[in-house]
Amino acid sequence: MKDNRNTAFGWILFSGVIALGASSISSMYFHADDNELPEGAEPGFFIQADEEEGAADAGPPFANLLAAGSASAGEAIFAKCTACHTIAQGGANGIGPNLWGVLGKPIGKHAAGFAYSSALSGHGGDWTYENMDAWLTSPKAFANGTKMSFAGLSKAEDRANVILYLLENGGGPPLPAPVAEDAAEGEEDADSPGEGPGAVEGAETGEAEAASAMGADQPVPEDAPATNPEG
């Protein structure tokens, strides 16, 4: 019985040695550990990605969204924030700080007694509309290391409405002026080469213009010999 066990263990050990050797030989043959392609080998199919693919639409200026937004719509969106924040004047801090009058205040310092993360308290600057928009877009991107786990609001309209709701609760700086849309109508009326009164340098002369030019008085060279009109 003991001999049978030794024989079985011997075969198992022998099989392991064979498998290890085969793996080593296969790795060397197929260059498994080599990041470079073997000589003469052709690379596989590469997917060409469009550089603009996935780019977010810029949309209208954020100042225009603020001008057209609604604080009441922002209140409905802010409902998801109430698990961590209070917004009433004199409200207690929760998991997050009380947000009464946060707009225009120093970033990471407006709520007394709240333990802000160093990433936010050391960020610097004030809660301007631009900074608040960036924060609501992605808190972690705005202040890497923040304790806030909220992923952010992807829609610019939602962020504008929430900011208007914050503005309604405690005030803040004046809203930025809306940006006027540039009209290109005047550019269409501009003269292009060959159009409008008079000849345009670089434009081809039309038949009507050529005939008119031929009928005009032509300059006479000063060194041309005089001719006798009588004969």
Mean pLDDT of 198-209: 49
Domain architecture of the chain: domains with CATH:
67-168 (1.10.760.10)
Mean pLDDT of 172-178: 96
Predicted confidence (pLDDT) per residue in 14-48, tens digit: 666 666 666 655 555 555 444 444 444 443 333 33
pLDDT attached to residue 144: 94
| Of residues 111 and 28, more confidently modeled | 111
Question: What is the band of 12 on the pLDDT scale with cuts at 50, 70, 90?
Answer: confident
| Of residues 175 and 222, more confidently modeled | 175
Mean pLDDT of 47-55: 34
Q: Does the pLDDT at position 157 exceed 90?
A: yes
| Of residues 128 and 204, more confidently modeled | 128
41-to-30, 32, 38, 44, 46 alpha-carbon distances in Å? 12, 14, 5, 9, 15
Q: Residues 210-219: contacts with CB within 8 Å, 24+ apart? A: none
Class of residue 132 by CB neighbours under 10 A (exposed 0-12, middle 13-18, buried 19+): buried
Please report, as a single letter, which amino acid is at residue 19. Answer: A
Mean pLDDT of 94-108: 96
Q: Does the pLDDT at position 200 exceed 50?
A: no
C-alpha 184/C-alpha 176 separation (Å) is: 24
- Compute the mean pLDDT over every residue in the chain, rounded to the nearest whole number: 74
| Of residues 32 and 62, more confidently modeled | 62
Mean pLDDT of 114-136: 96
pLDDT attached to residue 9: 63
Three-state DSSP string of 55-90: CCCCCCCHHHHHHHCCHHHHHHHHHHHCCCCCCCCC
**What percent of the chain shows pLDDT beyond 90?**
49
**In contact, 102 and 166? CB cutoff 8 Å:** yes
Q: Does the pLDDT at position 231 exceed 50?
A: no
Q: Does the pLDDT at position 74 exceed 60?
A: yes
